[in-house]
Structure 1
């Protein structure tokens, strides 16, 4: 009995260590997502460790370099993006599905600055990310083709034009947070109208314009 008690006593610290390690890892990922969303993927690793309440050594034990951390954080975002695209592709009205995906993608960019940077970064390579992205591109291309065959999406729209939308709207994310959402919604609305096929009923109403002035534009530019 004494021997059993001794073994159990020795096991408790190991179990506690595993629980602490899992808790540290989860906290690091949560904080990394928050900081990437607020400041982009160039945020210092030390800033992530500090906000997570762990030492730099602990962070690097869990994630040996920035790439491994960004890849894991972005994998979650990509999964969400895939779910949004899958829902849009399942819409029986391909034009409505196309519009809903473009608008949702725009919202995701503005809500999370790290999303744009990670998507365009070499950090997105590895751990199956490329395969997922290629699958998403194929699903989007099929959605585009169906919307064009339905006569709603202009025939010269190319699936690669999604990158134009992505880059243009990504630039809007640099605006002050209090204006970025309004600017993005209006930009996406303009773009969607321009994508609609001639002869199909265009929606002329636009979201409320942003109240951001030129002075704020210059201030935002100088702060970057």
Structure 2
């Protein structure tokens, strides 16, 4: 069993947050280009100072084109976070499909490596991640890390006989929250990722293997 991917376009349509839904390939490509531009701006300056004008300038588009799809910068950030989640799921699925993954320990190690790769290579990911860093209230949905941890537990239940319990879910969620925080710090202080903090995050996730109950 793999974690069910949520392609960015489908996720955006389902979320019903876009002002205009692309109906042609050219429009879809334009939307993708705007998200790419937003990711690059965030990579350079962080998400807190992101403006729709900066995205338009980076994409070589008019500000009207940005507003055609995104009513404001918050919706733009949410949209990019949905795409980040899609790419994270794809990376995790690929990691879990590796023949070297034979038990919970190797699965957790592979997932950690997949997330480190995203922090290192995906523009803007180290800042925005899955969107949980955005302090938007009232909260409209459960945190992305809660959902992802539950989906990973479902994989572990099916493949490795781990029990489907709230305790096991909490163990995984705590491990991934710790990893997320340490990786965020690792790449904030070193663009290539501070090795000591990356290793600390991976160790926190690895420790969860012995705590998961069958």
TM-score when normalising by structure 2: 0.61
* CA shift in 2, pair 1:60/1:165, >3 Å: same
Distance 2:44 2:112 in 1: 22
* CA shift in 2, pair 1:189/1:85, >3 Å: closer
Q: Report what 2:148 is aligned to.
A: 136
Could you tell me how far 1:122 is from its partner in structure 2? Answer: 4.8
Count how many residue pairs are aligned between Structure 1 and Structure 2.
172
Q: Does the residue aligned with 1:119 lie in a helix, a strand or coil? A: coil
1:98 equivalenced with 2:108 (yes/no):
yes
Tell me: higher relative CO, structure 1 or 2? Use CA pairs within 8 A at least 6 residues apart: 2
Distance 1:132 1:163 in 2: 10
**Aligned partner (choices 55, 58, 81) of residue 51 of structure 1:** 58
Distance 1:62 1:97 in 2: 38
Unaligned segments of structure 2, at least 5 residues: 1-23, 163-167
Q: Does the residue aligned with 2:171 lie in a helix, a strand or coil? A: coil
Unaligned segments of structure 1, at least 5 residues: 1-17, 150-154, 199-224
Distance 1:132 1:192 in 2: 17
**Aligned partner (choices 68, 75, 78) of residue 82 of structure 2:** 75
Q: Report what 1:15 is aligned to.
A: none
- Most deviating of 20-29 and 92-101: 20-29
Contact 1:31/1:48, CA 8 A, preserved across alignment = yes
Q: Report what 1:165 is aligned to.
A: 179
Distance 2:68 2:149 in 1: 35
Could you tell me how far 1:181 is from its partner in structure 2? Answer: 5.1
TM-score when normalising by structure 1: 0.58
Distance 2:109 2:102 in 1: 13
Distance 2:154 2:27 in 1: 44
1:3-32 Cα offsets, whole Å, 9 max, x none, are: xxxxxxxxxxxxxxx887555433212211
